[in-house]
């Protein structure tokens, strides 16, 4: 059985003081969660969140990582820098990074490999645009993005990775794939991993749904056999909402 993982993606929100306040509210609320709990926060919040989450079951995550060890990359953060700050998980290849900052499948793979080499767990985002779904290319898009992102990893490294299926048309729009649509596409991703790495790997890798999961739809989505958790956007910014998602089975 795969252990569910619920990760909040705060995006560009929360000052350090606001971040600490939110995490302090979450610590007692989610202490009995049956799933892994992660908050992926802006780099300016690392220290505040790490201190607020000390001794709890809440893990610290980042929202991006550079693929180089060091160098002339103004504004970027290396895997070693993140690791030194206590980061354990890194969101890589989010559609907003692809759309606004020129992220490609090749750079996603480079970032994934740097993340894994530093001993952190990547949360690799894949997903299709609205017109790609409407024209029937969803399966091809998510298979290609997944296998490109995982290229060069060992079987054990793939097993330890997390994939987040996020239909781009459902991010920040209030739209959500139906439970069945999400389950079906995640099943496609799992089958692609099975063909490349074997059934033991595909059975072990955790695949989240990342398209506007919230307290209102989490139970239905998490009841699907292929869905192993969620990458939560807006609902992760309020303690009651995120708690409801984390405790979906309570």
Sequence-distant (≥ 6) Cβ neighbours of residue 179 within 8 angstroms: 217, 220, 221, 223, 224
Render each residue's pLDDT in the chain as its tens digit; 250 residues.
Answer: 899 999 999 999 999 999 999 999 999 999 999 999 999 999 999 999 999 999 999 999 999 999 999 999 999 999 999 999 999 999 999 999 999 999 999 999 999 999 999 999 999 999 999 899 999 999 999 999 999 999 999 999 999 999 999 998 887 777 778 999 999 999 999 999 999 999 999 999 999 999 889 999 999 999 999 999 999 999 999 999 999 999 999 9
CA distance 230 to 239: 16
The C-alpha torsion from 101 through 104 and 107 to 109, rounded to 10°, is 130
Active site residues: 94, 166
pLDDT in the model for residue 173: 74
pLDDT in the model for residue 177: 83
Tell me which residue has tokens 């354990």: 88
pLDDT in the model for residue 85: 98
Query: Which is nearest to 247 in space by CA: 2, 1, 3, 6?
Result: 6
Per-domain boundaries in the chain = 5-246
For strand 89-92 and strand 121-126, is the pairing parallel, antiparallel, or unpaired?
parallel
Q: Is 108 left (phi over 0), alpha (psi -120 to 50) or beta?
A: alpha
* Fold of the domain built from segment(s) 5-246: TIM Barrel (3.20.20)
pLDDT in the model for residue 138: 95
């Amino acid at each position: 059985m795969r252990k569910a993982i619920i990760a909040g993606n705060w995006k560009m929100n929360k000052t350090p003081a606001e971040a600490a306040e939110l995490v302090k509210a979450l610590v007692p609320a989610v202490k009995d969660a049956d799933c892994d709990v992660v908050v992926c926060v802006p780099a300016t919040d690392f220290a505040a969140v790490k201190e607020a989450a000390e001794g709890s079951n809440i893990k610290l995550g980042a929202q991006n990582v550079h693929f180089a060890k060091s160098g002339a990359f103004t504004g970027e953060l290396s895997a070693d820098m993140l690791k030194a700050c206590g980061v354990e998980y890194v969101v890589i290849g989010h559609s907003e990074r692809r759309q606004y900052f020129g992220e490609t499948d090749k750079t996603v793979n480079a970032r994934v490999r740097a993340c894994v080499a530093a001993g952190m767990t990547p949360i690799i985002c894949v997903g299709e645009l609205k017109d790609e779904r409407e024209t029937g290319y969803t399966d091809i898009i998510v298979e290609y993005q997944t296998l490109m992102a995982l290229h060069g990893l060992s079987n054990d490294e793939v097993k330890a990775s997390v994939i987040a299926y996020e239909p781009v048309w459902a991010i920040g729009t209030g739209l959500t794939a139906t439970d069945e649509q999400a389950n079906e596409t995640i099943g496609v991703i799992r089958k692609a991993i099975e063909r490349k790495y074997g059934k033991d790997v595909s059975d072990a890798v955790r695949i989240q749904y990342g398209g506007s999961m919230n307290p209102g739809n989490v139970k239905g989505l998490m009841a699907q056999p292929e869905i192993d958790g969620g990458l939560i956007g807006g609902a992760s910014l309020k303690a009651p909402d995120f708690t409801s998602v984390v405790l979906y089975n309570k």
